[in-house]
């Protein structure tokens, strides 16, 4: 296997975090030569990196700089000089880098006579199949997600309808308040979330609309929460749709179809099946039930997104359950999240996490599905 070189911030670069198990807020260099990993960090991170990083050797940038001085290197080195020194001291003349590798650093290495090949394939395809401890961590984050979303539903249950408003005591229930109670519960469980969705009625027509303002009685409220563990960096994902008050017959029909479509997708999940086949089964199901989907310019309606995606150190990662999804692997963790969206009605989406096995899939989500609260 050719040597691999990466540069980035492991707090946000899933490949670096996967390879090092070390979350750093500042950029780091990682060289993998065979099974040996050498990590270069800022000097203020040296002590922590040597305790926490799952690598063979940890260096500081100052140590590389000292090596360059001893060899007569120029002052005011550039990043490419540090990377070149790391490669030279490791007797590496050619590396493979991810397609996210900085262009400036790539060109700098090539100018220093290092052969650099950009990988068209994932550096760590094994990320798609989770280890037992990863499954346990994602399950733990999903439990925290369920507790947080349950807090929002409890707030809606305890509120009352007053005209076109939903109130808890004298306070109007808003999307912002629902997000706040979910985020507070997540923080208590050492998780954090961004871009949380609490979208009511027309706001939920766009699947990623986060929602704002007061919630309206008798309209669907999409609650979608995808937090990350503050310790391990692993994500979970969960969506429920509820109505405060009475759902219309049209909303009830949409909700029933989405719930049945999710069950259909689960029934088809197993190792080896192509994600696109599962997705197409859901598409056909909605057609049979009379739910039209169209994509005309900026106006979309019906089932307008993929059925699911992988979840791990990224909230959207391989494998995919959409139009181009390939074969699923044993121990992949994927979302199953069909939805329907129509102007004048709103959106309905339900989302659980599935652990793919040889003979089927295990639902990792426990939170009940209830429409009216």
Condensed to tens digits (0 to 9), the pLDDT of residues 67-77 reads 888 887 656 67
Low-confidence residues in the chain, pLDDT < 50: none
* Angle between helix 79-89 and helix 103-111 axes, rounded to 10 deg: 60
What was the pLDDT predicted at 143? 98
pLDDT at 73: 65
Residue 361 has what pLDDT? 98
Determine the straight-line distance between the first and last CA of the chain, rounded to whole angstroms. Answer: 56
pLDDT score, position 56:
98
Domains for the chain: give ranges and CATH numbers.
3-123 (3.40.350.10), 128-363 (3.90.230.10)
Residue 295: the pLDDT is: 80
Cα separation, 121 vs 129, in Å, equals: 16
Rg value, the chain, Cα: 24
pLDDT of residue 75: 60
At residue 72, the pLDDT reads 74
Residue 104, judged by CB atoms within 10 A of its CB (0-12, 13-18, 19+), counts as exposed
pLDDT for 263: 98
């Amino acid at each position: 296997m050719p040597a691999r070189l990466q540069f980035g911030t492991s707090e946000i670069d899933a490949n670096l975090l996967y390879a090092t198990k070390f979350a750093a807020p500042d950029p780091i260099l990682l060289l993998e030569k065979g099974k040996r990993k050498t990590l270069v960090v800022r000097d203020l991170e040296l002590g922590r990196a040597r305790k926490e990083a799952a690598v063979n050797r940890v260096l500081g940038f100052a140590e590389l700089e000292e090596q360059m001085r001893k060899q007569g290197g120029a002052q005011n080195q550039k990043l490419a000089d540090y990377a070149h020194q790391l490669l030279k001291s490791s007797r590496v003349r050619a590396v493979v880098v991810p397609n996210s590798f900085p262009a400036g650093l790539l060109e700098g290495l090539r100018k220093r006579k290092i052969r650099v090949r950009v990988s068209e394939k994932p550096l760590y395809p094994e990320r798609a199949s989770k280890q037992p401890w990863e499954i346990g961590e994602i399950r733990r984050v999903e439990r925290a997600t369920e507790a947080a979303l349950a807090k929002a539903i409890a707030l809606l249950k305890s509120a009352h309808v007053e005209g076109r408003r939903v109130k808890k005591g004298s306070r109007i229930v808003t999307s912002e308040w629902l997000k706040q109670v979910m985020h507070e519960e997540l923080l208590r469980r050492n998780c954090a979330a961004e871009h949380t969705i609490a979208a009511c009625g027309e706001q939920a027509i766009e699947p990623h609309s986060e929602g704002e303002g007061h919630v309206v009685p008798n309209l669907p409220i999409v609650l979608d929460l995808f937090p990350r563990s503050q310790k391990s960096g692993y994500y979970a994902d969960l969506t429920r749709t509820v109505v405060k008050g009475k759902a219309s017959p049209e909303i009830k029909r949409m909700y029933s179809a989405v719930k049945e479509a999710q069950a259909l997708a689960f029934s088809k999940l197993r190792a080896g099946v192509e994600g696109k086949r599962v997705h197409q089964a859901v598409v056909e199901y909605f057609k049979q039930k009379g739910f039209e989907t169209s994509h005309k310019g900026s106006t979309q309606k019906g089932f307008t997104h993929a059925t699911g995606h992988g979840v791990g150190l990224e909230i959207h990662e391989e494998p995919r359950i959409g139009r181009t999804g390939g074969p699923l692997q044993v121990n992949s963790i994927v979302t199953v999240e069909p939805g329907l969206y129509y102007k004048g009605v709103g959106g309905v989406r339900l989302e659980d996490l599935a652990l793919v096995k040889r003979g089927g899939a295990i639902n990792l989500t426990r939170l009940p599905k209830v429409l009216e609260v």
